[in-house]
Structure 1
Amino acid sequence: MSDTNRIGVSIDSKLLEKFDEKIEEKMYANRSEAIRDLIRDFLVKDELKYSNEEVIGSLTLVYSHDTRGISDKLNQLQHEDFTNVLSSVHLHLNEENCMEIVAIKGDSNKIKEISDRLISSKGVKHGKLVMTSFKNIE
């Protein structure tokens, strides 16, 4: 950060106390680092909401491996969009459940579309997409 500015913020003492507790819990070095991180998160979420920029994402799927053909179906869907699917990791959670973590990259609308297709596959119990921008983030 070559051009750093100082700002003043008025905050209720109880709110600041709770914020300081979270800062310590999350192991931030100081308030400034925590506030910068919150601002970046706010800006990335806003950017993703209103644009179709290139993003990187992680999709986590939990599914029952007992569902007939589920592994093949998820694999097939990932191959259909192989230019967007960078990697996947398969984990055995217990006798019944597996987790797939998929790293995906592309324009945000395409990433959402791919994720929706995978999450809505029969046998998937839960899916969650997390996207972030990697451009213009200081």
Structure 2
Amino acid sequence: MQRITITLPEELCTELDAFVQTRRYDTRSEAMRDLLRTALRVTAEAEPEGEAMGVLSYVYDHHLRDLASRLMDHHHAHHALTVTTSHVHLDHDTCLETVILRGPVRDLRTHADGILGQRGVMHGNLFLIPVESQDHGHGLAHHTHLHVKESF
């Protein structure tokens, strides 16, 4: 077995201790092993195929050195996936961004992982909505609509 060290904010450590007590773990290490196994299992599940709309929301510390610039560079590198972005200042230190995305599920997940994995991004989630493109016409005016599917 290997020993690793992690640094947690005080609030998260308090939540972990409450989790340990509620679930009756003997140690924080046992709880962390179970939480990590669960997270890895969920991540390893088969990624859905096809096209999707995605809602990527995250909170970050805009004072953290170069973080805002790194986030912007990442968004520019994946600009073809972005439909629109909203930016809200929560307080003097933190910002909330919500990005509406459209594209192949694999590409949306890759883009979201690149954002959510940045040091200084505190909370985040990607919500995926399965869609398919359908041609639609009104006389001579043909265009494409997105149709929301029940599942991937």
Whether TM-score is above 0.5 comes out as yes
Residue 71 (str. 1) matches residue 68 (str. 2): yes
Equivalent residue letter for 2:53: I
**Greater relative contact order, per chain length (Cα 8 Å cut-off, separation 6+):** 1
2:97 corresponds to which letter in structure 1?
E
TM-score normalised per structure 2: 0.55
- Give me the whole-angstrom Cα distance separating, in 2, the residues matched to 1:124 and 1:50: 23
More strand by share: 2
Q: Name the structure 1 match of 2:128.
A: 131
Whether the 8 Å contact between 2:50 and 2:104 is mirrored in structure 1 is yes
Q: Distance in 1 between matches of 2:58 and 2:74?
A: 13
- Aligned-residue offset at 1:76: 0.7
Does residue 58 in structure 1 map to residue 51 in structure 2? Answer: no
2:100 is aligned with 1:100: no
* Identity fraction in percent: 26
Gaps of 5+ in 1: 1-48
**Structure 2 matches for 1:77-116, cutoff 5 A?**
77-116=74-113
TM-score by length of 1: 0.60
CA distance in structure 1 between the partners assigned to 2:63 and 2:78 by the alignment: 25
- Shift of the 50–68 alpha-carbon distance from structure 1 to 2, 3 Å rule, reads closer
Classify the secondary structure of the residue corresponding to 2:80: coil
| Match of residue 120 from structure 1 | 117
Moved over 2 A (4+): 134-138
CA RMSD after TM alignment: 1.6
Query: Partner amino acid for 2:72?
Result: N
Q: Structure 1 residue 50: deviation in Å? A: 5.7
**Structure 2 Cα separation of the partners of residues 125 and 116 of structure 1:** 13
Say if 2:59 and 2:97, in contact at 8 Å, map to a contact too.
yes
Aligned length: 90
Rounded Cα–Cα distance in structure 2 between residues aligned with 1:60 and 1:113: 15
| Unaligned runs of at least 5 residues, structure 2 | 1-45, 133-146
